[in-house]
Amino acid sequence: MKQINACGFLLVVWVIFGSLSSVQGDLKIGFYNESCPQAEKIISEYVKKHIPHAPTLAASLLRMHFHDCFVQGCDASLLLNSSSQQAEKHAIPNQTVRGFDFIDRIKSLLEKECPGIVSCADIVSLVARDAVVTIGGPTWKVPTGRRDGTVSNKTEALNEIPAPTMNFSQLITSFGKKGLDLNDLVWLSGAHTIGIAHCNSFSKRLYNFTGKFDQDPSIDPFYAANLKKYKCKNLSDNTTFVEMDPGSFLTFDTDYYKNLLKRRGLFTSDAALITNATAKAGVTTLANSSDSVFFSVFAISMEKMNQIEVKTGSEGEIRKHCALVN
C-alpha cells in the first residue's frame, strides 16, 4: 500500500465510513426503543453526571471495552467473577482495569427501570462511547442488541489481548484475528491519547530491553532519561503511574501521534507503529491533521471493534448481575 496524501486519506475515510455505517449484522441502532426506551438516556445521564468528577475513568472504561471485545467478542465476559476457573479479570492485562463498580451501578439503575432487558455487553459498549464524548472526545455509532457471554477464561485473556510488548507483526496478527486491519491498528492505538500506565508495563524498555540491562534504542534518549529520573526510578517499580500522552492525557487529541514521530511512544507496541512504512504514513497523516480527522477515523474503527464476535438472538443471556452468570 502506498502512502496517500491528506485529500486521499479523507476520501478513503469517507468511503469506508459510508460502507460501514449500514453494515451492523444482527445489531441495530435503538434496539431498546420499545423494550426499554429510557435505557440509553439513563446510561448517558449517569456518565455525564459522574465522569466530569473522575475524568481519568473515561480511559479506563474505553480500555475495558477494548479488552472485553478481544476475548470471546464484545460480550461482557470481562465482568464475570471466577467460578470453576479463573476469569478474564484476573489475567495480567486486566488486573489494572478499573470501572467495574461504575458499570454495576448503571446496571442496577437499568434493572429497576426494565428488569432483565439490557445486557451488560451493551452497557459496556455505550458507556465507553459516552465517557469519551463527555471528556470532549469523538462520538461513534453503537448499535445494540448484544447478549452477555457465560464463559470467562483467564488464559484466553492472556493470549488474546494485545500486549504492550508486541512488535508490529505481532500486533497485525493479533488485530487480524479479530477482523481488524492495519488502519484499525493505527487508529485505535490513538486511544492512548488519554489515560495512564504503570511503570512495569514498559520499564524493560528503560532498564533491560534485551536482557543486558540496556535501553531500547528506539526510544528518545531525553524522554527515557526523564522517565527514569522522575517516574520509573527502577525496574521493579510496579506502582507509579505515567501519563500515556504527556501534557494532555485528559484530552482526546492528535498529540499521541506527534509524540510517536518524536520516538516518545510509551509502550513497545506504540513505538512499533513507526517501524512499518505504511503504518508510519498513517501516523504522520494524523499527526499533521486536525482533531476532527482523527475523531472521524477513530469512530470508524470503534464501530468495527464494538461488533467483534457479538452474541445476538438466542446466544448467551441477559445477566441480572454483570459479575455473575444467571
Residue 67 among the catalytic residues:
yes
Q: Give the whole-angstrom CA distance, residue 230 versus residue 36.
A: 50
In degrees and rounded to multiples of 5, residue 321 shows phi and psi of -130, 130
Residue 68 is labelled as binding a ligand: yes
| 146 within 8 A of 74, measured Cβ to Cβ | yes
The verdict on whether residue 77 carries a ligand-binding annotation is yes
Q: Is 88 annotated as a binding-site member?
A: yes
48-54 long-range contacts (CB < 8 A, ≥24 apart) are 48/130, 48/134, 50/102, 51/130, 51/131, 51/134, 51/135, 52/134
CA quadruple 184, 74, 271, 224: dihedral, nearest 10:
150
* Inter-residue contact 127 to 103 (CB < 8 Å): yes
Residue 75 annotated as lining a ligand binding site: yes
**Residue 73 annotated as binding?**
yes
Residue of 50, 53, 65, 67 marked catalytic: 67
Is 210 annotated as contributing to ligand binding? no
What angle do helix axes 291-305 and 6-20 make, rounded to 10 degrees?
A: 30
The reply to whether 151 sits in an annotated binding site is no
Query: Coil, strand, or helix at residue 196?
Result: strand
Q: What cell numbers appear for 88 in the block?
A: 478474564
**Residue 236, marked binder:** no
- For cell 475495558, the residue is 64
User: Which positions make up the binding site for substrate?
Assistant: 162
Binding residues for heme b: 192
Residues at the binding site are 68, 71, 73, 75, 77, 88, 162, 192-193, 245, 253
Q: Catalytic residue positions? A: 67
Q: Which residues are part of a known binding site for Ca(2+)?
A: 68, 71, 73, 75, 77, 88, 193, 245, 253
